[in-house]
Amino acid sequence: MNRRWELDLLRGFMLVMMFTTHLPTRFSDKLGQPFGYVSAAEGFVMLSAFMAGLIYTGRAQKAGIPAMKKAFFRRVTTVYACHATLLLFLFSAIAMLGLKLDQPALTNLIGFYLSDPWAALPGALLLIYNPPLLDILPLYILLLFASPFVLAFAMQRGWTGIFVISVALWACGQFPLSQGLYEMLAQHTGLRVPFSETGSFETLSWQFLWLFGLWMGAATAQGRLDHRKPFPRALVVGAFLVVLIGLVWRHTAGQIPVPGDAESLINHLFDKWRLGPLRMLNLFALLVVIMHIGPRLSERLPRIGFLEKLGSASLPVFCMHLVVVLAALSIAGEYRPGRPLLLDVLMMAAGLAALYATALVTLYLDREEQQRMLAARKEQELKRAGRRQATAAGAAKSDLPT
């Protein structure tokens, strides 16, 4: 499958947004959620799901559903290996560095591990204990693991039943249902990981966003979105208004819609971790706007190689962004007013350089691997052709009169 450069560019842009938001500098608050009450995490999850639906539906059409499932599980294994490596890096080198330099930002981040390592380490490897910053990959792993079964069902029976269940689960995710179920499970199994340490992302809510992206990718692979009708004018105008309101509100009030009132109903409706209804409205309005202007915009959009390369190597770049952010937290700590501007600029520049270097190395290794596979395939074809010629020569010789 030929790469779609505009999708790589979008993924690269979202990776940069996540990095600048997570890196502890004076820029993180200003660059967080720059387009309204929508963060890079939502866009990255939806786009990752779209790519999965696009690629693996094509695999199923070409080689069958069993081959699609096998490819999915290989990807799950790769992502899990990356997550486990990051955990071990955090619990060893980063933890020692943070303790030695006495950085509260880092020690608070892994407070449960420091207090109960024998429960934290196996809990983390089982995707139960998920420290901040390292809680999106476990969500990705779980959703990726379920995806081949969802795609196989959808290809045979359609998406209607899947979305009915998905919307119901999203609605359940707006309430503390997960916490109640988890605490009941912990009570009967003796789990020592508190619910507050299982990660910020509410799986019941975020599965809907993943399934929506998966459906869009599958529909694109099957050609069902190639001749999509334009959105109604009223929908486009309404979406532009919602996006404009969210944009002005975010940059007037800040990243929290009603600052100083954590229990405000409005804040719950915009909640990121549960994907509250108003947040979903803002997100889908932005999606309608992007889909409306996207085709014309992509014709005029400049090719930004830096972002495209980051997007082409998204998993290694995402992992490197976490390595850089964790190292910054353990060495420099959280941002405090008075820190020299030059230091923040240097941290940002060095981090972006590390992400770009990771992308270049990854793409180089991928090309080398593809060339080795191509050479091995050609060698096998030559051997098969030689065996066929030998068989044909032997048959011809046996047909000669004696």
What DSSP letter does each residue of 119-175 carry, written as one string? HHHHHHHTT----TTSSHHHHHHHHHHHHHHHHHHHHHH-SHHHHHHHHHHHHHTTT
What are the CA-CA distances from residue 68 to residues 41, 104, 150, 314 (Å)? 26, 45, 12, 21
Candidates 176, 372, 183, 190; CA nearest to 274 is 176
CA distance 20 to 4: 25
Average pLDDT over the chain reads: 91
Task: Tell me, yes or no, whether 35 lies in a domain.
Answer: yes
Per-residue model confidence (pLDDT) at position 372: 87
Q: What is the pLDDT of residues 65-108, one digit of tens each?
A: 999 999 999 999 999 999 999 999 999 999 999 899 988 988 89
CA distance 325 to 18: 10
Task: Tell me, yes or no, whether 19 lies in a domain.
Answer: yes
Q: What is the pLDDT of residues 336-384, one digit of tens each?
A: 888 899 999 999 999 999 999 999 999 999 888 888 888 888 878 777 7
Task: Tell me, yes or no, whether 224 lies in a domain.
Answer: yes
Task: Tell me, yes or no, whether 399 lies in a domain.
Answer: no
Q: pLDDT category, 296, cuts 50, 70, 90?
A: confident
What are the CA-CA distances from residue 4 to residues 51, 151, 200, 352, 358 (Å)? 10, 22, 32, 23, 20
Domain containing residue 127: 5-384
Please compute the mean of the pLDDT values over residues 175-190 and round it to a whole number.
Answer: 92
Q: Say if residue 204's pLDDT is above 90.
A: yes
CA distance 107 to 122: 19
Q: Which amino acid, one-letter code, is at 303?
A: R
Q: pLDDT category, 398, cuts 50, 70, 90?
A: low
pTM above 0.75, yes or no: yes
Per-residue model confidence (pLDDT) at position 314: 93
- Split into its structural domains, the chain has a count of 1
Task: Tell me, yes or no, whether 314 lies in a domain.
Answer: yes
Query: What are 14's two structure tokens?
Result: 């979202």
What are the CA-CA distances from residue 104 to residues 98, 328, 350, 372 (Å)? 8, 12, 23, 48
More confident site: 145 or 370? 145
Task: Tell me, yes or no, whether 317 lies in a domain.
Answer: yes
Q: Say if residue 402's pLDDT is above 60.
A: no
Task: Tell me, yes or no, whether 397 lies in a domain.
Answer: no
Task: Tell me, yes or no, whether 402 lies in a domain.
Answer: no
Q: Which residue has the tokens 């779209």?
A: 50
Per-residue model confidence (pLDDT) at position 395: 65
Cα–Cα–Cα angle for 171, 174, 176, rounded to 5 degrees: 120
